Amino acid sequence: MFKKPIVCDTIDIAEVGKALIRLPRFKSSSALAAAQEQRIAKLKMEIKDLEQKFGDQDANAIVKAHIELLHSYNEIKDGTQALIGKYAVMTGSTVRDIHEQMSLSLVE
């Protein structure tokens, strides 16, 4: 009582670097095919937008800059948490109370 597998082939979307993006094209429904065509068009637009935004930049340079920004963020956050902890001790309250008073999230 097994269902027959859906027969499909693939559609080549675009070459991104050396990778080729492929999506399955199901032959079982024209509505599904239309939805896939819309998805393909959307993905192609997204690829073009990203290539325009980052196309001439080195991927390693982008990652390096992002990592540096994360390090800066973490240093600032660590310093802020230390100050909140000291303030909590000085006022005799908990760090949770200080976060709530300042409308700060306890989770990242």
Report the pLDDT averaged over residues 94-100: 93
The pTM for the full model equals 0.48
pLDDT at 53: 83
Give the long-range contacts of residues 61-67, CB within 8 A, separation 24 or more. Answer: none
How do residues 23-73 score in pLDDT, each as one tens digit? 655 556 677 778 888 899 999 999 888 888 877 778 888 889 999 999 999
For the chain, give me the number of helices (H) and strands (E)?
3, 2
Query: Could you tell me if 10 and 21 are in contact, meaning their C-beta atoms sit under 8 angstroms apart?
Result: no
Distance of alpha carbon 24 from alpha carbon 38, whole angstroms: 13
pLDDT at 1: 46
Matching residue, tokens 């949770």: 96
- Domain limits of the chain? 8-54, 59-101
